[in-house]
Structure 1
Amino acid sequence: MIQPKKTLSLALLLCTQFLCAADFSQLQLHNSGRGGSNTPHGLARFDSEVLAHAPDTVIIFFGMNDSINDKASVPLDKFRANLTEMVRRSKANDIAPFLVTVHPIIAEPLYERHPDKLQSFYLDRGGANAIIDRYNPVIREVAQETNTPLIDFAVAAAEHLKDPQAAPIVVPDGVHLAPAGKKLLGDTIASALASYTPQPKKVVCFGDSITRLGYDTELYLALDPDRFQAYTTSIPSAKAHPDLEPPTKLFDGKYENISLDSIEYRGDVDVLVDLDKTSMIHQIEVVYFSAKNYTLSEINLYAGLQENKMTLIESFPVVPQKEERKARTATFQLNKELRYFKIHCKRAESSARVLISEIMINGKDHNSSEW
Structure 2
Amino acid sequence: MANTEMKIVCFGDSLTYGYGVLEHIAYPYRLTKDLPEKYPQYSWEIRNSGINGHTTREALIRLQGSVLQHKPQMVFILFGSNDSALNEGQYRTPYEYEQNLRKILTEIFALPTGNPFHDGTPLVILMTPPSMVDTDFYPFTTNDRLELYGEIVKKLAQEYDLPLIDLFAAYQSIKNKADYEACFQYDGVHLSNAGYEILYNLILDTIEHIMKDQ
- Contact kept? 1:169, 1:181, Cα under 8 Å: yes
Residue 38 (structure 1) aligns with = 55
Q: Which amino acid aligns with 1:108?
A: D
SS at match of 1:64: coil
Distance 1:197 1:88, change over 3 A: farther
What do the CA deviations read for 1:64-95 (whole angstroms, capped 9, x no partner)?
Answer: 01112422111111111111121111111121
Give the Cα–Cα distance (whole angstroms) in 2 for the partners of residues 40 and 58 of structure 1: 17
Q: TM-score, normalised by structure 1?
A: 0.42
Give the Cα–Cα distance (whole angstroms) in 2 for the partners of residues 199 and 86 of structure 1: 25
Pick one of 171, 174, 183 that aligns with 1:157. 171
Residue 95 (structure 2) aligns with = 77
Q: Pairwise mapping of residues 273-352 of structure 1 onto structure 2 (< 5 A)?
A: none
Confirm whether residue 99 of structure 1 aligns to residue 112 of structure 2: no
Q: Which amino acid aligns with 1:32?
A: S
More strand by share: 1
SS at match of 1:59: strand
Give the Cα–Cα distance (whole angstroms) in 2 for the partners of residues 43 and 109 of structure 1: 31
Q: TM-score, normalised by structure 2?
A: 0.71
- Contact kept? 2:157, 2:164, Cα under 8 Å: yes
More helix by share: 2
Aligned residue-pair number: 167
Q: Pairwise mapping of residues 108-123 of structure 1 onto structure 2 (< 5 A)?
A: 108-111=136-139
- How far the C-alpha of 1:197 sits from its partner, in A, is 4.1
- How far the C-alpha of 1:199 sits from its partner, in A, is 7.1
Q: Pairwise mapping of residues 1-371 of structure 1 onto structure 2 (< 5 A)?
A: 23-25=38-40, 26-71=43-88, 72-93=90-111, 94-106=121-133, 107-111=135-139, 128-159=142-173, 161-164=174-177, 166=179, 168-197=182-211
Unaligned runs of 5+ in 1: 1-18, 115-121, 123-127, 201-371
RMSD: 2.5
Give the Cα–Cα distance (whole angstroms) in 2 for the partners of residues 33 and 42 of structure 1: 9
Unaligned runs of 5+ in 2: 1-33, 112-120
